[in-house]
Amino acid sequence: MTTNTAKDEALDLTRACELAEEEAGTAGPVIRVLQKVQAHYGYIPPEFLPEMAEILEVPLAKIFGALTFYSQFYTEPRGKYVVRICVGTACHVQGSKDILDRLKGDIGVEAGGTTPDMMFTLEPVACIGSCGLAPLCLINTETAAHQTPALMVEKIAAIREKESASVAEE
């Protein structure tokens, strides 16, 4: 099964179907399949959901319910680097809004957006749960504690430099 992504490139959903087939007939497969598909593609292609329902023999509404209930599932392609800025109370008081505003300009996307080159997704989050490290940011799984706008811009610049160097080596 193939479909088109937002970038109008053919997306092969064969692997997604295989992942669903591995879980077919097991107890409570929906979350596991969503996790596996997202791990493979970086998001869950909405076009796959009817196929998933058919393979798992569960109502599409049940899959859609799980997909929309859990905030860790994404139905849009995301950047290679997901930059999360905590905007919870402790981080807000310590200046996380300034970090978010600066990164919107530096990265060039609004909150929740992804750069056209699919390098960065900028995501404000309600609370990361480490208020003593405020303001706290995450770049993928790397924690950046006690951040400032300037420190985060430096981190983004370092990522861009690293990515440019790896492209130049290819």
The pLDDT tens digits of the residues spanning 15-46 come to 999 999 999 999 999 999 999 999 999 899 99
Parse the chain into domains and list their residue ranges: 2-69, 81-169
- Of 167 and 43, the structure prediction assigns the larger pLDDT to 43
Spell out the CATH class of 81-169.
alpha beta
C-alpha 132/C-alpha 130 separation (Å) is 6
Q: Which residues pair with 124 in a beta bridge?
A: 85
Q: Label residue 118 left, alpha or beta by phi (over 0 means left) and psi (-120 to 50 means alpha).
A: left
The pLDDT tens digits of the residues spanning 65-121 come to 999 999 889 999 999 999 999 999 999 999 999 999 999 999 999 999 999 999 999
pTM over 0.95: no
Indicate the SS3 state at residue 122: strand
For the chain, where are the E strands, in sequence order? Answer: 2-4, 10-12, 81-86, 120-125, 137-139, 142-144
